[in-house]
Amino acid sequence: MAIKLEMLRCFAAVASTGSLAAAAEVLGRTPSAVSMMLAGFEARLGAPLFEGERKSRLTPFGRMTLAEAERAIAAFDGSVAAIGRYARSTAGTVRIAAVPSVSVTLLPQAIARFRNQRPDVRLEISDVDSAAVIRRIEADEADLGLASGPIGAGLESEILLTDPLGIVCRSDHPVALLKGPIGWGDLERGPFLANPLAALVDHPGVRAQAEASHLVARNTTTLLAFVRLGLGATILPERSVDSGAADLLFFRPMDPPAERPVHLLQQRSSRLNPAAELFRRCLAEVGSISPIEKSRAAL
């Protein structure tokens, strides 16, 4: 008689509950059926799994068998869940987690391309910071992620694009009133709103300002709101500032130039379903378009 998954589940239930009756309740079967299956499993193995008639104590062989049974059950259940997600997502849902500056610039173009081919698929967009994007991919709460900063070794990553970083401020901020080229050191002339992107700028003045700042935020929308309120200048990607926003100015210092890489992320160990794979290709296509071509496409 071949060993079946049902036998492994039966044995694991008895071992975890300590009795046939309790295992039967967990499995939704009668105690006699559980007893017969367990006896058949032991007969197939050729060695006892429990010490004595009571099922409260495993033999050394039983402990080893339980570890292997739990591993096999988890692997089977994980495969079934993955197959189910794959089947549902064929014409179901694609989950994307992205940083706000990408959500308002890159994603709309990718969604438009995707919709032309798969209007039947539901898209779920999470607008969160880079750390949250990475956590969602790692926890399988998103199929694709768009983030910047350090990426965990367990994720598959490719650089989708790079964004120039610069100083964002109101027209009445001291930086905006300067004449001539703007440098990173000019941030010391007024209040500074710190955020994690400051770590991408290789300039001692930026590091000093970030450490001294009394106001720190991660979300792009929040930072722009603070800048508009006159609470200070901050460092953001150029694409995060709407070209039509007359109340905000963007300066790109060149001492040195700084960029933010935008990574396209997915789990290294799992395969994308067809819909998610198509969306990934749409993102890659949009990310490869030059700024001039993007402007023409928007017209």
H or E element that contains 274: helix 274-287
Q: For residue 15, what pLDDT is reported? A: 92
Cβ atoms of 15 and 58 closer than 8 Å: yes
Q: For residue 61, what pLDDT is reported? A: 93
Pairing of strands 259-267, 144-147: antiparallel
Alpha-helix residue ranges (DSSP H) falling in 28-142: 31-45, 60-89, 100-103, 106-117, 130-138
Q: For residue 95, what pLDDT is reported? A: 93
| pLDDT less than 50: residues of the chain | 290-299
Amino acid identity, position 17: T
Instruction: Count Cα neighbours of 1 within 13 Å in the Cβ-side half-sphere.
Output: 14
**Region at 69 (left for phi over 0; alpha for psi -120 to 50; beta for the rest):** alpha
* Beta-bridge mates of residue 161: 262
Q: What share of the chain is helix, strand, coil (3-state, %, to 5)?
A: 50, 20, 35
In sequence order, the 6+-apart residues with CB closer than 8 A to the CB of 178 are 186, 189
Q: For residue 189, what pLDDT is reported? A: 92
Whole-model pTM: value is 0.60
Q: How many CB atoms lie within 10 A of CB 84?
A: 10
- The CA distance from 237 to 49, in Å, is 62
The CATH label, of 1.10.10.10, 2.40.37.20, 1.10.20.60, 1.10.10.60, for the domain at 5-88 is 1.10.10.10
Q: Which of 118, 113, 127 is nearest to 92 (CA)?
A: 118
Whether 89-161+260-298 and 164-259 share one fold: the answer is: yes
Peptide bond just before 256 cis, omega within 30 deg: yes
Domain 89-161+260-298: assigned CATH number = 3.40.190.10
H or E element that contains 285: helix 274-287
Pairing of strands 233-237, 259-267: unpaired
Q: For residue 268, what pLDDT is reported? A: 85
Instruction: Count Cα neighbours of 267 within 13 Å in the Cβ-side half-sphere.
Output: 17
- What are the extents of the domains in the chain? 5-88, 89-161+260-298, 164-259
Q: For residue 292, what pLDDT is reported? A: 33
Give the domain 164-259 fold: D-Maltodextrin-Binding Protein; domain 2 (3.40.190)
Q: For residue 289, what pLDDT is reported? A: 52
Please, what sign has the CA dihedral across residues 182, 105, 193, 202?
negative
